Amino acid sequence: MDGDRGQSDERTGLAWQRTALAVLAAAAFLTRLTFHDLGMAVFVVLGLTSALCLWVLLEGGSRYRRGYDRGGRAAGALTLAVVTLAGAELAALMNS
């Protein structure tokens, strides 16, 4: 049974990394689409989202190898990143 636990932890860590990369790619794509509506302010959103996603990317890989309590910080960081992107998109829709 211990071998299964290690593999499930690794799969979970990889899933967190894939999710962080997907949100980071979405942030870059949405920055490109909304630059003409929001101007340079969109780069603030990209910077915040990138920092959160990179932290989750690194944390997702190392946290499960170390076996630490999962706590919910990574989920909170990704939630904040997605909410930030949604806020920027709403602002872009209001400007158009």
Q: What is the DSSP string of 35-96?
A: HHHHTTHHHHHHHHHHHHHHHHHHHHHHHHHHT---TTHHHHHHHHHHHHHHHHHHHHHHH-
pLDDT digits (tens, 9 = 90+) for 42-79: 999 999 999 999 988 888 777 666 665 667 788 888 89
pLDDT of residue 11: 81
pLDDT of residue 65: 65
pLDDT of residue 44: 93
Residue scoring higher pLDDT (2 or 67) = 67
Asked if residues 79 and 27 have their Cβ atoms less than 8 Å apart, the reply is no
**Number of CB atoms found within 10 A of residue 9's CB:** 16
**Distance between CA 37 and CA 77 in Å, rounded?**
26
What pTM was estimated for this model as a whole?
Answer: 0.78
Residue scoring higher pLDDT (67 or 40) = 40
DSSP state of 20: H
pLDDT digits (tens, 9 = 90+) for 81-92: 999 999 999 998
